[in-house]
Amino acid sequence: MKTIRNKLISAIIASTATIGMTASATPVNETSQVAKAHELALVKKAMSGAHRSAKSKARDQYRHPAETLAFFGFRPDMTVVEITPGGGWYTEILAPALKGTGKLYGAHYPDTGEDNYYTRSRRNLEKKLASDMVFNEVELTDFDPKAGSDLAPAGTADLVLTFRNLHNWGEAGMAQVFKDAYKALKKGGVLGVVEHRMPASQPWQENQKSGYVPQALAVKYAQAAGFTLAATSEINANPKDTATHPKGVWTLPPSLALGEQDKAKYLAIGESDRMTLKFVK
């Protein structure tokens, strides 16, 4: 009897284990795919929203927001920090995608009360955020690339993003901002960087004012701050861009710094060649 009972128990355990394997393996994968599809749908919905102008939407072909955010692992339940949102181009997408389920901090230059670029930029962004309810959950923090900043409460962010900003900070600023991002992120959190890419053949010291940054330099300072380079992507690459233009990156659209001079030529090139880097804390 004891032998029969032991055989029955062994059979039940084996059967249960098999059922568990077949019942869990496929649904987990399917759940992941469903989640990714849902996240992409939310981003796409935000991209098509009425709060975005036709001018903003026209740049989607160059900035690839859906693909870029997917590469960085964006989810709508995340706490996200966008460093220096500028005019709010990415904020228009992040804010509605996170609204109600996540949190968005905009770490922007403070309003010093002086009539300068930083104050005007902050006030313009505040005006934009007040213009539509889609932005009413965005929280602004003060950002200073030289002195260091609390981009968000320490250890709370899942994702810190910076789009086309490194060239404004210089090497000392880059080093400091990456340290600030590291402090803001949870363990396992992601720092996503998109920046105009200087060709490795160009000397950095002679071309610092071009608006382009060597990819190796960005990696160097991120790693010095404690990050690990997890992945790179060519989502935002543009092989037509040689990075040798009369007025640097601003020669290209959307700035078109030369005005009508050679406009067709620069429109044909399109927006800049950009590195897309994913770092992990």
pLDDT per residue as tens digits for the range 98-108 = 999 999 999 99
Q: What is the mean pLDDT of residues 224-247?
A: 98
Report the domain count for the chain. 1
At residue 185, what are phi and psi to the nearest 5 degrees? -80, 150
Residue 249 lies in a domain: yes
Distances (CA, A) of 265 to 55, 188, 228, 269, 274: 20, 44, 39, 7, 19
Residue 211 lies in a domain: yes
Strands 79-83 and 103-108: parallel
- For residue 198, what are the β-bridge partners? 214
Q: Which domain holds residue 268?
A: 48-280
Mean pLDDT of the chain: 90
Residue 31 lies in a domain: no
pTM: 0.88
Residue 88 lies in a domain: yes
* Res 27: pLDDT: 61
With a cut of 90, say whether residue 278 has pLDDT above it: yes
What CATH number should be reported for the domain holding residue 275? 3.40.50.150
What share of the chain has pLDDT > 90, as a percent?
84
Q: What is the mean pLDDT of residues 141-164?
A: 96
Q: What is the mean pLDDT of residues 216-232?
A: 98
* Res 4: pLDDT: 40
Residue 37 lies in a domain: no
Contact 158, 151 (CB under 8 A): no
